[in-house]
Structure 1
Amino acid sequence: MSMKYKGRGNVREYIMEMYQIASKLKALKIELSEDLLVLMVLILLPAHFNQFKVSYNCQREKWTLNKLISHCVQEEERLKQDKTESAHLASASKDKGKKRKHENEAAKGPAQKKQQKDSDGCFFCNKPGHVKKNCTKYHAWRAKKGLPELLKAK
């Protein structure tokens, strides 16, 4: 009886499944009252039903399982309507009078970008003329650390 409603499917199916489990327990001579079943369903509802749970607890009237189902379905519909779609907008500040490196790269083709990366130099030792995977200092450092050797590019 510790199954939680995870928001998949609808809440009516979840409550009916709980009811079926309770009826199977009744066949095994373990009877759960309807009030207890209603409370268990409410307890196992997810956090976005918290406002609904509070409103149930504030009233004196106890619901039947059918009334709980109808109220839960209404609440589920209300939550779906309240859920708003959102998109995140990102913008970049414009540097006055400065050209960005990536703006220049966008105008170049892929072959020119590769040449520019090679001319920038090694990311490990910061010396121009080679890249990190061909750097002798990098391979010596990996060997010192006990890391496996990389395949060197030609």
Structure 2
Amino acid sequence: MITSHYDGKSGIRKHILEMTHMENQLRSMDMEISDGFLVHLIMRSLGLNYDPFKINYNTQKEKWTIQELISHSVEEEERQRAEKQKIKDQLNLTNAFDKGKKVYQGESSNKNSEPEGK
């Protein structure tokens, strides 16, 4: 549980639920973990792209429950996906614009070519 890391592919909700499941297994063996410590372990398991999210959490006076953590984490995951899609769309638009450039009459794409007819 301590060495668990979020892979960024399976979905953050699934990751948190898996960590909660591990906590429940420990509880059944009389090794109870507080919700606050579980939230800490989950936050610690998140990757570098969640650093601003973690900083935001740590600056708040209020501590989250597992349900609140799931809710906020899913929102952050969706925000990051939207940001990645926005960047992809901008790159696609730029690439489409570059491909759409036309060579105007009088310009040659090959400057070393000789004029036609000679």
- TM exceeds 0.5? yes
Q: How much has 1:98 moved relative to structure 2? A: 6.3
Q: Which has the larger radius of gyration?
A: 1
Taking every aligned residue pair, what percent have the same amino acid on both sides? 34
Taking the aligned partners of 1:24 and 1:98, their CA distance within structure 2 comes to 75
- Output the amino acid matched with 2:67: N
Cα deviations by residue, 1:3-40 (Å, 9 ceiling, x for unpaired): 11111121001000000000000111111100000010
Using the size of structure 2 for normalisation, the TM-score is 0.74
Q: How much has 1:96 moved relative to structure 2? A: 3.6
**Alignment match, 1:48:** 49
- Structure 1 residue aligned with 2:112, among 83, 97, 122? 97
**Alignment match, 1:151:** none
Instruction: Flag the structure with more relative contact order, 1 or 2, with Cα contacts below 8 A and sequence separation at least 6.
Output: 2
Q: How much has 1:97 moved relative to structure 2? A: 2.1
Instruction: Within 5 Å, give how 1:1-154 maps onto structure 2.
Output: 1=1, 2-83=3-84, 84-85=87-88, 86=91, 96-97=111-112
Cα deviations by residue, 1:88-146 (Å, 9 ceiling, x for unpaired): 969xxx674269xxxxxxxxxxxxxxxxxxxxxxxxxxxxxxxxxxxxxxxxxxxxxxx
Cα deviations by residue, 1:27-61 (Å, 9 ceiling, x for unpaired): 11111100000010001101111110010011111
The structure carrying a bigger helix percent of its residues is 2
CA RMSD of aligned residues (A): 2.0
Gaps of 5+ in 1: 100-154
Gaps of 5+ in 2: 99-108
Runs of at least 4 residues off by over 4 Å? 87-90
Length, aligned pairs only: 97
The alignment partner of 2:64 has SS state of coil
Taking the aligned partners of 1:70 and 1:7, their CA distance within structure 2 comes to 16
